[in-house]
């Protein structure tokens, strides 16, 4: 399989970490949406990452859709249970993590990619505040537990830890407000080479 997109993207990276955790073989195609948009559109007409090219040539887009497929292949090892209350618990926690990721990425693009004279400062502040509120909600879930759901590693933990790295890399002013238990979760996962090996190298 080939994973399209740079590890700077938390959406790309959560797929990469999941592939590693599932022990699946894959190759990175680190195309940038900023400088290599035309090349990405050759793979994905939406011009978005991640895209995952399966061994048979089929292409999947959107990190959630890609992870749904990988979970199906992983079977009982999946980071999201297949059904029932356990699945809903993981989905709830993952939704907060993914929502916070979307808000943070929006704030990053507004603050770093848009020309300074056109930046909407209140919009950036609103995005950051919403992302941090979601992280505080996740932080509360970690009280008395090493994991966000089910007492074990799930997709909620992967997505949250990847987000913390993204914040520290791209939004240093925001990084100081990341809650301590969420940061500790990232630190624990960082000890796992399957996670650490996907860190963005610049």
User: Per-residue pLDDT for 18 more than 90?
Assistant: yes
DSSP the chain: -EEES-TTSHHHHHHHHHHHHTT---EEE---TTT-HHHHHHH-TT--S-EEE-TTS-EEESHHHHHHHHHHHHGGG-SS-SSHHHHHHHHHHHHHHHHHHHHHHHHHIIIIIS-GGG--HHHHHHHHHHHHHHHHHHHHHTTT-SSSBTTB--HHHHHHHHHHHHHHHH-HHHHTTS-HHHHHHHHHHHTSHHHHTTS---
What does the pLDDT read at residue 168? 97
Q: Tens of pLDDT along 46-85?
A: 999 999 999 999 999 999 999 999 999 999 999 999 999 9
pTM over 0.75: yes
Q: Tens of pLDDT along 90-127?
A: 999 999 999 999 999 999 999 988 888 888 999 999 99
Task: State the average pLDDT over residues 163-186.
Answer: 98
CATH of the structural domain 84-196, one choice from 1.10.40.60, 3.40.1260.10, 1.20.1050.10, 1.20.1250.20:
1.20.1050.10
What ranges do the domains of the chain cover?
2-77, 84-196
- Fold exhibited by the domain 2-77: Glutaredoxin (3.40.30)
């Amino acid at each position: 399989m080939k994973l399209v997109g740079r590890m700077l993207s938390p959406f790309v990276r959560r797929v990469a970490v999941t592939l590693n955790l599932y022990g699946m073989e894959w190759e990175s195609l680190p195309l940038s949406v900023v400088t290599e948009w035309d090349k990405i559109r050759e793979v994905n007409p939406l011009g978005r990452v991640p895209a995952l090219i399966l061994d048979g040539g089929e292409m999947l887009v959107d990190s959630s859709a890609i992870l749904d497929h990988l979970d199906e292949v992983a079977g009982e090892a999946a980071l999201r249970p297949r059904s029932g209350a356990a699945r809903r618990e993981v989905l709830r926690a993952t939704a907060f993590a993914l929502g916070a990721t979307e808000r943070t990425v929006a704030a990053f693009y507004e603050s770093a990619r848009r020309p300074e004279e056109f930046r909407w400062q209140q919009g950036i502040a609103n995005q950051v505040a919403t992302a941090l509120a979601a992280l505080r909600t996740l932080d509360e879930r970690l009280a008395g537990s090493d994991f966000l759901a089910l007492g074990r590693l799930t997709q909620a933990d992967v997505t949250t830890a990847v987000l913390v790295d993204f914040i520290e890399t791209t939004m240093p002013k925001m990084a100081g407000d990341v809650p301590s238990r969420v940061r500790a979760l990232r630190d624990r996962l960082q000890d796992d080479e399957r996670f650490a090996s996907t860190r963005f190298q610049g």
